[in-house]
A = this chain, B = another copy of it.
Amino acid sequence: MNKTEEQNSCHSGRVISFTQLNNEIKEKPQPRFGGDEIRVVDAMIDIIYPSVPFPSNKIFKTLGAEYIRKMVEHHHHLLLKTNIKTLFPQHPEALKLVIDRSVDFFVEALGGGAVFTSQHGDPHLRQRHFKIPINENDREIWLAMYKKTLKELKFPKEHLEEFWNWIEPLSIRMINRRTNTNAIKRHHWHDVKTELLQVNV
């Protein structure tokens, strides 16, 4: 089992993850059906949604609300050029509402005050996204377009790690449509920092 798979597993008594099982059945033959006795197949989980380190207000103090707006708009602009554009409203006014709400969320989460919660209540990001099917690959695209945004907008390099360590696991929480038993791909800071810091040199 590799490291990513281990991180997505649950070792609570006999409860294992589909990811683990996937590995185990490569090694041992499947039990037979319809024997003389009832055969109990263990309880399982899907994946562990990793912990999410929400950023401090240091980022907002450097970026300010205007930069954050520009960043969220740029990200959405890029997303609308990808396959997942179908997940966003087509009507310009409905789309604007979605982007504005996302701006408010990012401003508040980064330390700019309760501009989201005062209007919309608790974020409950997973719950808010339930109406839209979001699979593992949709999340890959969302995150890749954030990486592109951070590079193109020259996000201040001293805050990149804290920001990335937040959005990378956060994006996993939005997945509500599973299409395979693989572990969710992680994009850890140590794997992306060379690419992200390069443009800021």
Contacts and interface: CB of A to CB of B under 8 A. Distances in A.
Copies of this protein, total: 2
Contacts of A177: 133, 176-178
Interface residues of A, number: 55
Interface string A159-191: 000100000000001001111110000000000
B43 A51 contact: yes
A42 interface: yes
Contact of A43 (B39, B49, B127): B49
Contacts of A90: none
A25 B126 CA distance: 14
A55 B40 contact: no
A175 to B, nearest CB: 9
